[in-house]
A and B are shown apart, each in its own frame.
Chain A
Amino acid sequence: MSDTKMDTQLPKSEKKPESQAVEPTGDIVIDVDDVSFAYDGKKEVIRNVSMGIRCNEVTAFIGPSGCGKTTLLRCLNRMNDLIPTAAITNGEIRILDTNIYDPAVDVIELRKHVGMVFQKYNPFPKSIYENVAYGLRIQGVRNKATLDQAVEESLIAAGLWSEVKDRLDASGLGLSGGQQQRLCIARTIAVQPKIILMDEPCSALDPISTTKIEDLITQLKTHFTIVIVTHNMQQATRVSDKTAFFYLGELIEIDETTKVFSNPSKKQTEDYISGRFG
């Protein structure tokens, strides 16, 4: 608890990673245990999914539309709480060994640890600087120097610094699509989450911007655990270490990306990646 507080207040470089709280690569940080989920309390859109997501890896969720991959992703930081009737109907999700649906969990604290990047880039109608500083400001950081540093580091980490450093006060909405999405990523990493969820982050972007984001994801995994939902199987092969294939609300298989794409163990997976449906 004390260290999470420090995380939020200290700029990124001086503080922690590799120290106590963070598990060495390979430990399971997200443990999805027999989870079912329904939007209306009755019809389950995810059924009995279990998986473990390891630290500092990129895990890709793939599968045809409506297979529940985005829903599961939004369960991981409880964004589904915004829909009144939606709820987990079975099982539990443990992040950092804590059941995140436990009443003792403050969803706001949870989201500080589990950031999210959306399908459609959505910077606030504020300046670039304010967009990145937003997360820190709402956590009560007032110190200008701290904010400046965090903004700069986040933008550097997001590969945007060189492009915007002269116009930090310009509106975030004035950037190109790819830049806006990278701004959103910078905004997310500025609060130093442990996990970043990405919901088809490149689906609204052109190929060049997509490449930049993909490079960025590969760089970011040294600091963060990343879960990415994608429609694009090439993207999954390019960026992810593990790939999970969903079909009709069920997890068909999860394994090393190379293995899933070269030698899937299930028939449905093979059909899907070979383009027979979806």
Chain B
Amino acid sequence: MHDLNTKTAPLNNPFATTRHKAKRTEFLFAQGLRLSTYFVLACAFYIFGDICIKGAPVVFQADFPFINTDFFTKSPETLVVYETVDGEQHQLGFKEFTAFKEANPEVQIVKEHTHSYSAGGILGPLVGTALLTLICIVVALFVGLAAAVYLNEYSGKGRFMDTVRLAILNLAGVPSIVFGLFGLGLFCLFFPVIVSEDQVRTKLAFQLFGSNEYLAFQGWGTSMLAGGLTLAVMILPVIITACEESLKAIPQGFREASLALGATKWQSIRTAVLPYAFPGMLTASILGITRVAGETAPIMFTAALAHKDKLPWQDLGGGNVIFKFLSQSVQAMPYHIYTVAARIPQSEYTKPMQYGSVFVFMVLVMILAALSVYLRIHYRSKLKW
């Protein structure tokens, strides 16, 4: 017995390779594919890096509390750059500047430039995006989960099912801007509201019994609710598919065991299926939030506006507070970025606001994405039946 390492003499090795050239081609090919894969990742890395390098200095600072708190506690406003007689340059937000001028009328101001949206912070857009996302995900998760339960637990085969599946597939492919148009047409311009007579602007209005109020099909206008619902409709296919996947992963045995013990169908679903599908649903909703938070096109006409002084809950007055709250338009991060990146004149002074907003926004979205990836991997390894 010779030991494993002794080389068989090449002469009588019938399996010696005859394909040196082919082997090299194979190696080069694999490395080429690998290179192009990593090239894509490198591009992504470069984009992240560029935004982080230019955005982080806006958000962080060297001294306590290390975070630029103004950036997170103020809403965007106009930046005034002015020069006093002694040639010194100052920057102030518009409100502060007006206050400063009133307080110090003696100060002579030589030059004064304004740069819109370049001062203040991003509190308004952050709050707006959070609210829109919240409305969207509550609605979408409710409907999406119910639809998924039906598709996976109740439905048999048939025409209705085929149509539903086809509709879901097609809905997933519709461009987001078309959802924007749809939301504008349905929620902003058509959905019914209850208004008093003098506010009726449409012929499609019906007087409510025994009151002066009308049910008018004139839409909610540009509003948080309209935007949230538009986003919910857009994300529905994603949520349904993800929820269905997580329901499918639950072994048939669970249901059968429960049914065999005399539980009704709904009891089985409630006690033996849904609890175990929870991790999957959580992942689905985070995935949904990630997608929705970044969308601009659907909220452009349905919910977003560029400038707003007050936060949504300020100054609601009396009356139907909830409706008033939901029917106001809001600022939103993606729309804010669109505004500062493309709709205002560019200058050195707008750069910090641009990069700061993009940096914060991207970090938030990436944290969500990371969370959904983590949860999926975590639960996949943990829940094995």
Q: Which residues of A pack against B, CB within 8 Å?
A: 1, 4-5, 21, 33-34, 92, 95-110, 113
Contact = CB atoms under 8 A, between A and B. Distances in A.
A110 B19 CA distance: 13
Contact of B14 (A1, A101, A107): A1
Contact of A105 (B1, B13, B18): B13
A95 B12 CA distance: 12
B15 interface: yes
Residue in A33, A99, A113 with the greatest tally of chain B CB atoms within 10 Å = A99
Nearest to A101: B4
Given A98-B8, A99-B8, A104-B7, A4 B14 contact: yes
A110 to B, nearest CB: 5
Contacts of B7: 102-104
Given A102-B7, A102-B8, A113 B15 contact: yes
Contact of A110 (B1, B12, B15): B15
Interface in B1-45: 1, 4, 7-8, 10, 12-19
Interface of B: 1, 4, 7-8, 10, 12-19
B1 A109 contact: no
Which 10 A-B pairs give the minimum distances between C-beta atoms?
A: A106-B17, A105-B15, A109-B15, A110-B15, A96-B14, A98-B13, A98-B8, A102-B8, A104-B13, A4-B14
Contacts of A105: 13, 15-16
Contacts of B14: 1, 4, 21, 96, 98, 109, 113
Nearest to A99: B8
A92 B6 CA distance: 11
Given A5-B18, A98-B14, A104-B10, 5 more contacts: A95-B15, A98-B12, A102-B7, A109-B16, A113-B14
A99 B4 contact: yes
Chain A interface helix/strand/loop/mixed = mixed
Nearest to A90: B4
Contacts of A113: 14-15
B15 A98 contact: yes
8 contacts: A97-B12, A102-B8, A104-B7, A104-B13, A108-B17, A108-B19, A109-B19, A110-B15
A33 B3 CA distance: 11
A2 to B, nearest CB: 10
A80 to B, nearest CB: 16
A106 B19 contact: yes
A104 B180 CA distance: 64
B27 to A, nearest CB: 14
Contacts of B8: 97-99, 102, 104
Nearest to A97: B12
Nearest to A103: B7
Residue in B12, B14, B18 with the greatest tally of chain A CB atoms within 10 Å = B14
A96 B14 CA distance: 7
Contact of A1 (B4, B18, B19): B18
Residue in A1, A101, A103 with the greatest tally of chain B CB atoms within 10 Å = A1
A109 B10 contact: no
A79 to B, nearest CB: 15
A106 B16 contact: yes
A106 B20 CA distance: 10
A33 B2 CA distance: 11
B18 A106 contact: yes
Nearest to A34: B1
Nearest to B3: A92
Contacts of B1: 33-34
A136 to B, nearest CB: 15
A100 B15 contact: yes
Nearest to A21: B14
A98 B16 CA distance: 10
A147 B19 CA distance: 22
Nearest to B11: A1
Nearest to A102: B8
Nearest to A94: B8
A109 B12 contact: no
Contacts of B4: 92, 99, 101
Contacts of A1: 13-14, 16, 18
Contacts of B10: 104
B11 to A, nearest CB: 8
A97 B18 CA distance: 19
B28 to A, nearest CB: 17
B3 to A, nearest CB: 9
B17 to A, nearest CB: 3
Contacts of A95: 15
Residue in A33, A97, A106 with the greatest tally of chain B CB atoms within 10 Å = A106
A4 B12 CA distance: 12
Nearest to A100: B15
A76 B17 CA distance: 18
Contacts of A34: 1
A102 B17 CA distance: 12
A95 to B, nearest CB: 8
A101 B16 CA distance: 12
B29 to A, nearest CB: 15
Contacts of B15: 95-96, 98, 100, 104-107, 109-110, 113
A98 B12 CA distance: 8
Contacts of A21: 14
A96 B19 CA distance: 20
A21 B15 CA distance: 13
A40 B9 CA distance: 31
B348 to A, nearest CB: 54
A70 B51 CA distance: 55
